[in-house]
Amino acid sequence: MRQEVLIIIPAYNEAEGIRYVIDNVRVQIPYADILVINDGSNDSTGDEAAKEGVLVVNLSCNLGIGGAVQTGYQYAHKHGYRYAAQLDGDGQHNPCDFDRMLEELRSGSTDMIVGSRFMKKEGFQSTFLRRIGIDLLAGLLTWLLHRKVTDPTSGYRICGQRAIALFAQEYPVDYPEVEALVQLDNNGCTFGEVPVIMRERVTGCSSIRPLGSVYYMIKVILAVLITRTKKKKKWDVGYES
């Protein structure tokens, strides 16, 4: 299975905890390659990751989570990985859940699996105010996509080659998790959800501040609605998930 699976870890100013995250991934997913995207950090994130002997891409400026993650998908597509997964650099995503997510992707007919913290409501459930926003976005996507969506903001995801190819070419920029689900559906790709147990972040702090939550919600909702208006098209890159 070596070189079939790539773990993409976008990281911005995560020097304090990135080695912990890498070690955790290495223990739980020993068959995967690890790629850290150092998103123009102001600290030693890139150097700390390099000490672990993993693949590191040091971006010259901060592109944001969308640009960092797309860089990872471009690398995965260029090097022919069969599966590529996103896993945050703050320690929230538990690699123990990865095998179940990968098995679900392999055994099903979907192009991407999302790790949902709300299907079984175990582990860290986010703050009260953020949970209200997540529920609102989940309801919006459930209505737009005509299917149940429980955790649209989860950044814990694993993609097959069709989704890798799509995201390598086009990926949302600012807060991409929600919009990417619509993008997949617009292009004839599918996704599923698997229950996972998330943890509170090990280090750092969220880029979304309480006072910015309303702005974030408005921006994401508008982006989702605009993305949904784009004409659907067949996406056929000759790959199977």
Q: Are 8 and 72 in contact (CB under 8 A)?
A: yes
Residue 234 included in any domain: no
Token look-up 């969308």 returns 66
Residue 239 included in any domain: no
Q: Are 135 and 152 in contact (CB under 8 A)?
A: no
Query: Beta-carbon neighbour count of residue 132 at 10 Å?
Result: 13
Q: Checking DSSP bridges between strand 83-86 and strand 157-159, what pairing results, if any?
A: antiparallel
Residue 237 included in any domain: no
The answer to whether the Cα torsion of 207, 212, 215, 216 is positive or negative is positive
Q: Are 223 and 142 in contact (CB under 8 A)?
A: no
Residue 123 included in any domain: yes
**What predicted TM-score, i.e. pTM, was given to this entire model?**
0.87
Residue 166 included in any domain: yes
Query: pLDDT (tens digit, 9 = 90+) per residue, 73-129?
Result: 999 999 999 999 999 988 889 999 999 999 999 998 899 999 999 888 765 656 656
DSSP track, 146-163 = TS--S-TT---EEE-HHH
Residue 114 included in any domain: yes
* The predicted structure's pLDDT at residue 2: 43
Name the domain count of the chain. 1
For residue 83, the enclosing domain spans 5-228
User: Of all residues in the chain, what percent carry a pLDDT higher than 70?
Assistant: 85
Which domain CATH number covers 176? 3.90.550.10
Query: Beta-carbon neighbour count of residue 174 at 10 Å?
Result: 13
Q: Are 240 and 82 in contact (CB under 8 A)?
A: no
Residue 88 included in any domain: yes
Q: Structure tokens of 8?
A: 């993409």
Residue 90 included in any domain: yes
Strands of 64-147, DSSP E: 83-86, 112-116
Flag whether pLDDT at 235 surpasses 60: no
Query: pLDDT (tens digit, 9 = 90+) per residue, 17-72?
Result: 999 999 999 999 999 999 999 999 999 999 999 999 999 999 999 999 999 999 99
Q: In whole angstroms, what is the distance from residue 117 CA to residue 103 CA?
A: 18
As a 3-state breakdown, the chain gives helix, strand, coil percent values, each rounded to 5, of 45, 15, 40
